């Protein structure tokens, strides 16, 4: 059996009872280690908690060498561990499809992820639209395909969850070109950098999917003991120090319920200023009032 097991957001003990029971009987255990990190637990702590060795599975192993993960899964129990939920922020459908093509049995054990825990900032999950990912810009690569998705969400009044980039076990272009297995230090995008990139692309595109005054919510270390939220405008949070990773951001939609707003005000430096920013933002993409068609003249 191949088990895909969600670990939750932060602690070794965030795993479900069913997930832990599955791990206990597995012959090999892999920890996906490129889309997220378990903030309050090291590899050594996980191994001690499970009582078994855990192999880190980087992007190369999962995407190119997944046959090693699937090896003998028809005779042995193999666990593939994912921070959050196996099908949360990043799906692992390719691994499941490969297993099914080989006739291997697969069982998925779910857990909490940023996709549902984001509701703890006070915004209702029903009012979220498409989720987007913000990657690190480089000197010659500044992708903006996410912009249209934010525009579409905002047009119908929905909030947008923005997942911030992390770089774990990444090679520089030079080392990659030379075939040198030298990896860059881990990097985690900050709230301020995300907001700066949002503002840069809006200035370039100029169609006002959002503005510097658009209200947003910064989410830091979700699910950990140091979990923190900060409400403000994009411009304001472009200067915000959110502290240690991991971070994500929510861009508010036009349909911000009064209960959502009441919740968010507790996270604002200036409650009245943030309230006014939300009220002002309600006008964006506001549907035009309905006007009955003119009656046709019978003559």
CA dist., res. 141 & res. 298, Å (int): 62
58 is in an annotated binding site: no
Q: Terminus-to-terminus CA distance in the chain, angstroms?
A: 78
**pLDDT of the residue at 194:** 98
Collect all residues with Cβ–Cβ distance below 8 Å to 1 and sequence separation of at least 6: 73, 77, 78, 104, 105, 106, 107
Tens digits of residue pLDDT in 140-162: 999 999 999 999 999 999 999 99
Give 63's pLDDT tier (boundaries 50, 70, 90): confident
- 85 known ligand binder: yes
Is there a binding annotation on residue 113?
yes
Which domains, and CATH codes, for the chain? 2-112 (3.40.1010.10), 115-283 (3.30.950.10)
Answer yes or no: is 181 a known binding residue. Answer: no
Q: What is the pLDDT of residues 227-278, one digit of tens each?
A: 999 999 999 999 999 999 999 999 999 889 999 999 999 999 999 999 999 9
Q: Confidence band (pLDDT; 50, 70, 90) for 89?
A: low
Question: 157-195 pLDDT, tens per residue?
Answer: 999 999 999 887 665 556 556 566 556 678 999 999 999
Q: Please, which residues have CB within 8 angstroms of residue 191's CB and are 6 or more apart in sequence?
A: 164, 218, 220, 230, 237, 240, 242, 247, 249
222 is in an annotated binding site: yes
The answer to whether the annotation marks 88 as part of a ligand binding site is: yes
Given pLDDT bands bounded at 50, 70 and 90, which one contains residue 80? Answer: very high
The pLDDT tens digits of the residues spanning 96-111 come to 999 999 999 999 999 9
Q: How many CA atoms lie within 13 A of 44 on its CB side?
A: 0
Whether residue 154 contacts residue 160, with contact meaning beta carbons closer than 8 Å, is answered with yes
Q: Which two tokens stand for residue 163?
A: 């997942």
Torsion of the alpha carbons at 35, 40, 44 and 50, rounded to the nearest 10? -90
Helix (H) or strand (E) holding 277: helix 271-281
């Amino acid at each position: 059996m191949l088990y895909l097991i969600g670990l939750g957001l932060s602690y070794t003990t965030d795993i479900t009872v069913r997930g832990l029971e599955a791990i206990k009987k597995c012959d090999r255990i892999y920890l996906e280690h490129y889309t997220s990190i378990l903030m309050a637990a090291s590899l050594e702590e996980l191994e001690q908690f499970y009582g078994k060795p855990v192999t880190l599975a980087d992007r190369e192993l999962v995407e190119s060498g997944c046959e090693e993960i699937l090896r003998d899964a028809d005779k042995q129990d193999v666990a593939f561990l994912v921070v959050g939920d196996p099908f949360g922020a990043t799906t692992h459908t390719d691994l499941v499809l490969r297993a099914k093509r080989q006739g291997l049995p697969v069982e998925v054990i779910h857990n909490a992820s940023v996709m549902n825990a984001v509701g703890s900032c006070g915004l209702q999950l029903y009012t979220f639209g498409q989720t987007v990912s913000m990657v690190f810009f480089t000197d010659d690569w500044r992708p903006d395909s996410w912009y249209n998705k934010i525009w579409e969400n905002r047009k119908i009044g929905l909030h947008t969850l923005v997942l911030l980039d992390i770089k774990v076990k990444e090679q520089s272009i030079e080392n990659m070109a030379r075939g040198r297995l030298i990896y860059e230090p881990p990097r985690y995008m900050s709230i301020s950098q995300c907001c700066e990139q949002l503002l840069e692309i809006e200035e370039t595109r100029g169609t006002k999917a959002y503005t510097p005054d658009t209200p947003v919510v910064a989410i830091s270390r979700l699910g950990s003991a140091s979990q923190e939220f900060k409400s403000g405008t994009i411009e304001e949070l472009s200067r915000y120090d959110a502290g240690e990773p991991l971070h994500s951001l929510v861009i508010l939609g036009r349909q911000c319920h009064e209960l959502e707003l009441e919740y968010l005000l507790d996270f604002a430096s200036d409650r009245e200023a943030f309230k006014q920013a939300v009220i002002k933002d309600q006008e964006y993409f506001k549907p035009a009032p309905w006007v009955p068609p003119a009656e046709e003249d019978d003559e």
